[in-house]
């Protein structure tokens, strides 16, 4: 297996893919903003029986745009997308994309949504870009090369206790939701406070940026966090073994946090965090 940490002067197409991820994330976010401006007229569908899990024509069109760009520039690469499924998973490079992370926020006029594009190389998160057009922010990173918001380097919070900052949280109606309230209770008991903004990609980016000291989700999908995991690692934060088992396609419980509070938060989550 090749190293997931390429030397800065190594030219095997990864630098080009990093530039591609940033460019396409911005272009896709601009495309999403055009839909956002007329969101009240968009057709919306519900996924399965979960009325909170929604998809719009905006999600579908933005993902189709990203897939077309990938097909034109890196046709040999695999892809995992929220709306279009997976293909080419035997490839060395696999793109993991969420065209609009935070669709419910998007459809309800809230600014907590983004485009997330990450890349796995030899099974490891190597680079990613998260474009937030509502705040003109592009979070991006490349393992071994740093992580940034626009041109500003990211660094995890220096907190040593959960009392020293905010913790992002989230849950769904999928299995694992029973762990949510016990975690909130433990967090409050130890003097912490929480928020939920509806976008796993953005809350992960905020941990990397030091805006949040941690983020826990009872069950997350890879397209919500693959790009963000790169930012977290490069910013000096920690994360659980999210990709274990069927994590890439099926998802897993998820925790990212500043190094000084990771163990404290992991203890609040308990054994469900890395259970198979």
Could you tell me the CA-to-CA distances from 15 to 119, 144, 250 in Å, in that order? 12, 12, 29
Q: What is the CATH number of the domain that holds 114?
A: 3.30.540.10
Q: Are residues 149 and 45 in the same domain?
A: yes
Please give the Cα distance from 122 to 234 (Å, whole number). Answer: 18
Split at pLDDT 50, 70, 90, the class of 84 is confident
Residue 177 falls within a domain, yes or no? yes
Same domain, yes or no: 183 and 144: no
Residue 139 and residue 205 in one domain: no
Which of 153, 174, 197 delimits the end of a domain? 153
Confidence category of residue 40, pLDDT binned at 50, 70, 90: confident
State yes or no: 49 annotated in a binding site: no
Does the annotation place 224 within a ligand binding site?
yes
pLDDT in tens, 85-139: 899 999 999 999 999 999 989 999 999 999 999 999 999 999 999 999 999 999 9
Domain boundary at 121, 153, 185, which? 153
The answer to whether 98 is annotated as binding is yes
* First vs last C-alpha separation in the chain: 24
- How far apart, in Å, are the Cα atoms of 260 and each of 143, 159, 208, 257? 22, 6, 13, 8
Q: Where are the alpha helices (DSSP H) in the chain?
A: 14-36, 57-73, 103-107, 180-189, 200-208, 226-234, 247-250, 262-269
Quick one: pLDDT at residue 47? 56
Q: Is 99 exposed, middle or buried (0-12, 13-18, 19+ CB in 10 A)?
A: buried
* Rounded CA Rg of the chain: 18
Residue 43 pLDDT greater than 90, yes or no = no
Residue 207 lies in a domain: yes
- Give the pLDDT confidence of 139-174 residue by residue, as tens digits: 999 999 999 999 999 999 999 999 999 999 999 988
How high is the pLDDT of residue 34?
A: 95
Are 140 and 264 found together in one domain? Answer: no
Is 217 labelled as part of a ligand binding site?
Answer: no
Mean pLDDT along residues 9-33:
91
Please give the residue range of the domain that contains residue 142: 14-153
Q: Which of 11-20, 136-145, 202-211 has the lowest mean pLDDT?
A: 11-20
Q: Confidence band (pLDDT; 50, 70, 90) for 46? A: low
pLDDT at 162 (0 to 100): 98
CA dihedral in degrees (200, 138, 87, 76; nearest 10)? -160
User: Regarding predicted confidence, which is higher, 274 or 1?
Assistant: 274
Task: Give pLDDT tens digits for 213-259.
Answer: 999 999 999 999 999 999 999 999 999 999 999 999 999 999 999 99
48, 50, 123, 160 from 53: Cα distances, Å: 8, 5, 28, 35
CA-CA-CA-CA torsion sign (192, 138, 155, 2): positive
Angle 234-240-241 from CA coordinates, rounded to 5°? 100
* Pair 139, 186 in one domain: no
At 59, is the secondary structure helix, strand, or coil?
A: helix
Q: State which of 123, 153, 183 marks the end of a domain.
A: 153
* Distance (Å, whole) CA 53 – CA 72: 31
Q: Are 58 and 35 in contact (CB under 8 A)?
A: yes
The backbone torsions φ and ψ at residue 86, rounded to the nearest 5 degrees and listed phi first, read -120, 155
Q: What's the longest Cα–Cα distance across the chain?
A: 53
pTM of the complete model beyond 0.85: yes
Counted domains in the chain: 2
């Amino acid at each position: 297996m090749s190293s997931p940490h390429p030397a800065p002067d190594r030219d095997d197409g990864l630098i080009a893919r990093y530039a591609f991820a940033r460019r396409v994330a911005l272009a896709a976010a601009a495309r999403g903003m055009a839909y956002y401006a007329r969101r009240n007229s968009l057709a919306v569908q519900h996924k399965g029986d979960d009325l909170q899990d929604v998809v719009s024509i905006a999600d579908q069109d933005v993902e189709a745009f990203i897939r077309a760009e990938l097909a034109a520039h890196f046709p040999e690469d695999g892809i995992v997308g929220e709306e279009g499924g997976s293909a080419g998973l035997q490839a060395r490079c696999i793109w993991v994309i969420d065209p609009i992370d935070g669709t419910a926020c998007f459809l309800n006029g809230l600014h907590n949504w983004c485009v997330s594009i990450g890349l796995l190389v030899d099974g490891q998160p190597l680079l990613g870009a998260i474009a937030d057009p509502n705040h003109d922010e592009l979070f991006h990173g490349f393992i071994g090369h740093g992580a940034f918001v626009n041109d500003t380097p990211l660094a995890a919070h220096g907190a040593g206790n959960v009392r020293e900052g905010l913790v992002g949280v989230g849950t769904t109606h999928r299995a694992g939701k029973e762990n949510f309230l016990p975690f909130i209770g433990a967090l409050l008991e130890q003097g912490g406070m929480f928020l939920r903004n509806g976008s796993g990609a953005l809350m992960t980016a905020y941990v990397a940026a030091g805006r949040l000291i941690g983020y826990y989700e009872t069950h997350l999908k890879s397209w919500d966090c693959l790009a963000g995991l790169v930012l977290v690692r490069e910013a000096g934060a920690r994360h659980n073994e999210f990709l274990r088992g069927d994590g890439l396609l099926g998802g897993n419980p998820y925790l990212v946090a500043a190094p000084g509070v990771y163990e404290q938060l992991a203890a609040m989550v308990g054994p469900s965090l890395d259970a198979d």
